[in-house]
Amino acid sequence: MSLQTDAPTTADSASLPVPSRPSRLPWVVVGIGLVFAVLPFVDVPLPGVFVGELSAPGTLQILAIGLVFAGLAMSYDLLLGYTGLLSLGHALYFALGVYGTNLLLLHTDLHYAVAVPLVLIGVGLVATVLGSIALRVRGVAFAMVTLAFAEALHVVVEADPLSISGGEEGLPLGSESIPDIFVGVVNVRWVYWVALAFALAAFFICWRAVNSRAGRVWQAVRENEDRVELLGLVPFGFKLQAFTIASVLAGAGGAVYLLVIRGANPQVASVLFTLNVIVMVVLGGLGRLWGAALGGLVFGYLSMRLPGLARAGVFERLPDWLEGPLTEPLFILGTLFVILVLFAPGGLASLIERLGASKGRR
């Protein structure tokens, strides 16, 4: 808007957000982490919620996907929720993690534990370069540039000009180079623990980051970028920092996802995948790490579980025009997302907080 005011720009009243009081959240997360960690030993069935016991490979597989998505969603929350950067290209870094790791495993003798750090260094470099180009513009232009970069990778992966990415078919996991404990259905629990470790690590890294001085500058940038400049700080560097951290975390998520689904699929590079990540974060609650994590878990669970329900004939008695869409998890998630955006802007997290608050009052 071009109408300007002669209002005093009070640099003195603009200060960084005050650090929030010490929170119990990390301890709660540690507790939840412990509960998740022992699930592979719990032979209790949860009929309806999961097929088979909690410790069943199928259940752990679904939970592992949910945990990867939880970590991925938190990394995106750093961008949109904390720094106010609407990226439409987060899939790029996740896909780099998936494909980069898999290619190293397939074409070198590197151990998984060596390949992943190498890939993450690469992802960090790519994010720094592409981020410094994209961050030259703000707002919607930024969204479009990130989208275009991500689409470039998607095109390469699908067209596969060097015949290395497997094109539309994708690329099965190079399983010779990974430890035996990650191979085979019996060993899903190990993969599950890796996913859990990733989600927990993502939380603590994000938590440290947003509560650091830099993290408070990110939030100030989100509120009002011009005012951050008035404080004598350069928003560009801080935004690039958030962008790079979030991208590397997404890359790590990709490396874990490769183990979980045992292969690389070009869909993880598509714009639809980025939109899914946005749905996770907003569904859970933008700007709250635990909300984003919850959104990722819910998204992972529903997207894996709803087709199963459909196969089990749960929707069979419904008319065709309803049955078709209801077997599409993205229809239900997308609709839920739209409803939440309109009627509960804080997502599931704010609904839970409100519930907690009203209970507290009683």
Partner 1 sequence: MSLEVFVLLAVTGLGLAGLYFLLASGLSLIFGLMDVLNVAHGLFFTVGGYAAWLVMTRVGVASVGLRFAIALLVATVAGLLIGAVVERGFIRPLYGDHVTQILITAGISIAGVALLGGWFTYDPQTFPVPEVFRMVINVAGARIPLSRLITVGSSLVLLFALLAFLRYTRHGLIIRAGVENRAMVQALGIDVQRSFTLVFAIGGLLAAIGGVLGAVFFAGVTPEIGLNNLIFAFIVVVIGGLGSVSGTALAAVIVGLTQQFVNFFAGAGVGDLTVVALLAITLLIRPQGLLGGVPR
Partner 2 sequence: MSETVDGPLPTERAGLEPLLSVRDLHVHRGEAHILQGIDLDVAPRQVTALLGRNGAGKTTTLLALLGLLPASGEIRLDGRQLEELPTFKRAQHGIAYVPEDREVFTQLTVAENLRLAMQSREAEQRLERVHEIFPELAKRRSQPAGTLSGGQQQMLALGRALLQPASLLLIDEPTKGLAPIVINEVVAALEELTTDTTVLLVEQNLRVAQQLAVNGYVLDHGTVAWNGVVDDLLEDPDLTQQLLGVAGRGDSE
Binding positions for partner 1, rule: CB under 8 A = 1-3, 80, 84, 86, 133, 136-137, 139-141, 143-145, 147-149, 151-152, 155-156, 158-159, 161, 271-272, 275-276, 278-279, 282, 321, 324-331, 333-335, 337-338, 341-342, 345
Q: What is the rounded CA–CA span in Å between residue 237 and residue 227?
A: 15
Q: What is the rounded CA–CA span in Å between residue 112 and residue 178?
A: 5
**Closer Cβ to partner 1, 15 or 335, answer by number:** 335
Q: How far is the CB of 296 from partner 1 (least distance, A)?
A: 16
**Closer Cβ to partner 1, 70 or 282, answer by number:** 282
* Binding at 114: pick from partner 1, partner 2, none (beta carbon under 5-8 Å per type): none
Q: What are phi and psi of 338, to 5 degrees?
A: -60, -45
Q: What is the rounded CA–CA span in Å between residue 357 and residue 359?
A: 5
Q: What is the rounded CA–CA span in Å between residue 227 and residue 344?
A: 29
Of 40-48, 126-134, 183-191, 219-227, the window that binds partner 2 (rule: CB under 8 A) is: 219-227
Q: How far is the CB of 1 from partner 2 (least distance, A)?
A: 8
**Residue listed under structure tokens 């939440």:** 340
**At 155, which amino acid appears?**
V
Q: What is the largest CA-CA distance in the chain?
A: 69
What is the x/- site pattern for partner 2, positions 223-242, by CB under 8 A?
A: xx--x---------------
The number of C-alpha atoms within 13 Å of 346 and in the hemisphere containing its C-beta is 11
Kindly report the CA angle at 312 between 307 and 316, in degrees rounded to 5?
90
163 near partner 2 (CB under 8 A): no
Nearest to 17 by CA among 240, 207, 222, 202: 222
**Sign of the torsion angle spanned by Cα atoms 16, 17, 22, 24:** negative
**Closer Cβ to partner 1, 35 or 338, answer by number:** 338
Q: How far is the CB of 152 from partner 1 (least distance, A)?
A: 4
Q: How many beta carbons lie within 10 A of that of residue 269, not counting itself?
A: 30
Q: How far is the CB of 81 from partner 2 (least distance, A)?
A: 20
**Closer Cβ to partner 2, 22 or 232, answer by number:** 232
313 near partner 2 (CB under 8 A): no
* Binding at 30: pick from partner 2, partner 1, none (beta carbon under 5-8 Å per type): none
What is the x/- site pattern for partner 2, positions 1-30, by CB under 8 A?
A: -xxxxxxxxx--xx----------------
**Residue listed under structure tokens 């639809």:** 272
Residue by residue, DSSP assigns 89-126 as -HHHHHHHHHHHHHHHHHHS---HHHHHHHHHHHHHHH
* Binding at 149: pick from partner 2, partner 1, none (beta carbon under 5-8 Å per type): partner 1
**Closer Cβ to partner 2, 2 or 358, answer by number:** 2
Structure tokens at 168: 């539309």
Binding site for partner 2 (CB under 8 A): 2-10, 13-14, 223-224, 227
